[in-house]
Amino acid sequence: MNNEIILASGSPRRSEILKQLGVNFRVVVSGEDEKPTSTNPMDFPRENACIKALSVSRTERDAYVLGFDTLVFLDNMPLGKPKSEENALEMLNILNNRSHFVITGVAIARNGEILCASEEKTEVIFRKCSLQELKDYVNSKDPMDKAGAYGIQTNGARLIKSINGCYYNVVGLPVARTLEMLDSLQVKV
């Protein structure tokens, strides 16, 4: 049986995590637009992960395709990637000294069919940061390609007081959940 694994994401962070785990994989970025149909924003990460995995699995026959999508939720509303530095500062300001959730959808597809899909949810609590700290972080340009305008794995860690749940989920690839899903499909990693 072919156990080839493909990561349907161009995220260097996700690639790094899979390499750290010793997973043999290759990257094929999904060109599919993420257009979830659910009316519940909390379903968007899982739905988007399915869209990405399905898209790549239609052309990469017999491979197990991993799709992921990570969103930051504050009061059950998603915060995507910032559109500008001003937008990044706004996001960080509303997250400041508050608790929010990071949800990553995980999907595994093969031959144009979703084999399994799930999600991981982690609570992140920001410490009380000064406006200057937030501005300095935005000026570093680090927040610009990250959901919620921060990266826990970079100097955005300075903003965080604590987390409840999977650290790797906040980075964008929930390790235990992903390995459990692959294991349930008897995919050797």
Burial 153-183 (b: 16+ CB within 10 A, else e): eeebeebbeebeebebbbbbbbbebbeebbe
Of the listed 33, 43, 62, 69, which one is catalytic?
69
- H helix or E strand, kind and range, residue 170: helix 167-171
* Residue 69 known to be catalytic: yes
Q: State CA 8 to chain mean position distance.
A: 12
Instruction: Characterize the bridge pairing of strands 113-126 and 160-164.
Output: antiparallel
Mention every residue, 6+ apart, whose C-beta is less than 8 A from residue 183.
none
Catalytic residues: 69
